[in-house]
Amino acid sequence: MKRSFFLAALGWLIISCCFASPNRIITLSGALTETVDALGFGNKIVATDVTSIYPLYVKQLPKVSRNRSVSAEGLISFAPDLVLAPEGHINKELQYQLKASGIRLVIIDQHYSLSGAIAFIQAVAKAIGVPDKGKMLAERTDERLQVAIAKVKTAKQEKKKVLFIYARGTGTMSVAGKGSSIDAIIKLAGAENAIQEFSDFKPYTTEAMVKVNPDLILMFDFGLSSLGGKASVLKMPGVRLTKAGKEERIIDMDGQLLTNFSVRLPDAILALHGELVK
């Protein structure tokens, strides 16, 4: 009996130790990558997905995904002891393959809100085995969030309507509706998402843009570049018919900063707010 208890306790101790200090981590989203880095485990990341571009060194790390799809072979080839993935990114078959290979997989859900960012940081810290570090990082982030939100609230101005256009060239354009990360960051920055008729993303249409008549058009920096820059966007059908087009209020920003909703959320709020009040 004592021997069995001892062996069981030893087993749990070994498992806890392994979970507490992973040596080879794969992160499958930009938010996960920068959170792991902020927790002091950046040097343990052996590979990332294509959306991970921050901090700067991350761009040099091997990528395990192509067009955001991953394979068991690609992940296993890096011999990770921990794979962190966002909810919905890993299918059941891949989960089974990783488990069969003895690789620990932790799937972390993400909610696009102030409390969601704090919970996300703590969930990543728990997965790595450093909940105390996670608590401290979450507290520091929350303090910075309160400062950012206070600054937004003290800015006395009429709420602007912002239309976000996602583009990868003229053939691939869509606008952000309710419930998206873009919708959330626009509201946190003190503005209003121009699209309220639907959720998530839908194809861009000239008629819809003219109808909502945004005060500003927001794009990711790579999206604006893919269309040929601000001058090219202003020449798109219908743009000049909107207030944003007439006043040439086209904003481009770092997509990862705006959408990751983790440790850099205070920076994202202040950066977008700064563009809105110009």
Q: What is the pLDDT of residue 155?
A: 87
From edge to edge, which strands make up the β-sheet containing 25-27? 45-48, 25-27, 82-86, 104-108
Q: By the 8 A CB rule, do 185 and 258 touch?
A: yes
CATH 3.40.50.1980 in the chain, residues? 20-147, 155-276
Q: What is the pLDDT along the chain (278 residues), one digit of tens a residue?
A: 444 434 444 443 444 444 557 999 999 999 999 999 999 999 999 999 999 999 999 999 999 977 667 889 999 999 999 999 999 889 999 999 999 999 999 999 999 999 999 999 999 999 999 999 999 999 999 999 999 999 999 987 788 999 999 998 877 789 998 889 999 999 999 999 999 888 888 888 888 889 999 999 999 999 999 999 999 999 999 999 999 999 999 999 999 999 999 999 999 999 999 999 98
Q: What is the pLDDT of residue 193?
A: 95
Q: What is the pLDDT of residue 190?
A: 96
Per the DSSP assignment, residues forming a β-bridge with 45 are 25
Indicate if the alpha-carbon torsion angle 78, 80, 85, 90 is positive or negative: positive
Q: Which residue is it, tokens 């394979």?
A: 71
Q: What is the DSSP string of 5-69?
A: HHHHHHHHHHHHHHHHS-SSEEE-SHHHHHHHIIIIIGGGEEEE-TT---SGGGGGS-B-EETTE
Class of domain 20-147: alpha beta
Q: Which amino acid is at 70?
A: V
Q: How far apart are CA 61 and CA 67, in angstroms?
A: 17
- Give domain 155-276's CATH number out of 3.30.1130.10, 3.40.50.1980, 3.30.590.10, 3.40.50.970: 3.40.50.1980
Question: Does this model's pTM top 0.95?
Answer: no
